[in-house]
């Protein structure tokens, strides 16, 4: 993946305090993406922002209830105020409607990646059918070999590259459950 795939991009990572969301935020930031992480756990979010800052990246956080209908717009405003409009939304937690709400309000989102179990497949397909470039990263069954949060994050980052914009509704299936 070329660094130019990410130059000047801004990402909103929903669920940025959980292990996969944190790994996604760190991986994107390491490639030069400015990142806002959101979720309910202030301590976890602050730790992610601190880790990114210590690695010379740019990050901010916003604590909020992902089920709160007002939170998507608050997250969008925090992202815009911090770094400009987002072009990437990664939803590792919360309803896919969160990502769709931000994408439609922002008007600048080129990529949405939904991360979760098989349920996100249908959500990604519905967003793709509505004309929103969206991918699903689906964890495998827990009986299979575990995938590290960092490896899962790299799959998400792959879905955020410029060439991946030619796809929509794609499902990237991990070989196993994500280790915690």
Determine what percent of the chain is predicted with pLDDT higher than 90: 54
What's the mean pLDDT when you consider all of the chain? 89
Q: How confident is the model at residue 1 (pLDDT cuts 50, 70, 90)?
A: low
| List of domains in the chain | 3-173 (3.40.50.720)
86-115 pLDDT tens trace:
999 999 977 677 777 887 777 888 889 999
Tokens of 127: 């967003």
pLDDT exceeds 80 at position 180: no
Location of structure tokens 């439609």: 104
Q: Where are the alpha helices (DSSP H) in the chain?
A: 19-30, 42-54, 71-83, 96-106, 119-129, 149-159
145-155 pLDDT tens trace:
788 999 999 99
pLDDT exceeds 70 at position 2: no
122-143 pLDDT tens trace:
888 888 888 888 999 998 876 6
**Residue 143: predicted pLDDT:** 62
User: What distances in angstroms separate CA 159 from CA 3, 48, 122, 128, 171, one per listed residue?
Assistant: 14, 21, 17, 14, 10
Instruction: Give the integer Cα–Cα distance in Å for 102 and 108.
Output: 10
42-61 pLDDT tens trace:
999 999 999 999 999 999 99
User: What distances in angstroms separate CA 178 from CA 18, 85, 120, 138, 141, one per listed residue?
Assistant: 11, 30, 15, 10, 9
Nearest to 18 by CA among 73, 91, 79, 86: 91
**Residue 50: predicted pLDDT:** 98
- Backbone φ and ψ for 14, nearest 5 degrees, come out as -85, 125
**Residue 104: predicted pLDDT:** 78
Instruction: Give the integer Cα–Cα distance in Å for 153 and 136.
Output: 12
Angle at 59 between CA 53 and CA 64, to 5 degrees: 130
**Residue 83: predicted pLDDT:** 97
Question: What totals of helices (H) and strands (E) does the chain contain, helices first?
Answer: 6, 7
Q: How confident is the model at residue 4 (pLDDT cuts 50, 70, 90)?
A: low
**Residue 144: predicted pLDDT:** 61
């Amino acid at each position: 993946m070329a660094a130019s795939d990410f130059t000047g991009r801004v990402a909103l990572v929903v669920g940025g305090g959980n292990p996969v969301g944190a790994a996604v935020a760190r991986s994107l930031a390491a490639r030069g993406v400015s990142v806002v992480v959101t979720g309910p756990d202030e301590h976890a979010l602050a730790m992610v922002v601190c880790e990114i800052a210590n690695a010379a990246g740019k990050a901010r956080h916003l604590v909020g209830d992902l089920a709160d209908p007002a939170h998507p717009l608050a997250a969008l405003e925090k992202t815009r105020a911090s770094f400009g409009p987002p072009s990437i939304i990664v939803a590792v937690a919360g309803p896919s409607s969160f990502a769709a709400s931000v994408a439609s309000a922002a008007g600048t989102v080129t990529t949405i990646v939904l991360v979760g179990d098989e349920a996100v497949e249908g959500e990604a397909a519905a967003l793709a059918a509505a004309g929103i470039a969206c991918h699903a990263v689906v964890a495998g069954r827990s009986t299979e070999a575990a995938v590290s949060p960092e490896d899962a994050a790299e799959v998400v980052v792959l879905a955020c590259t410029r060439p991946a914009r030619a796809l929509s509704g794609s499902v990237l299936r991990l070989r196993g459950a994500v280790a915690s």
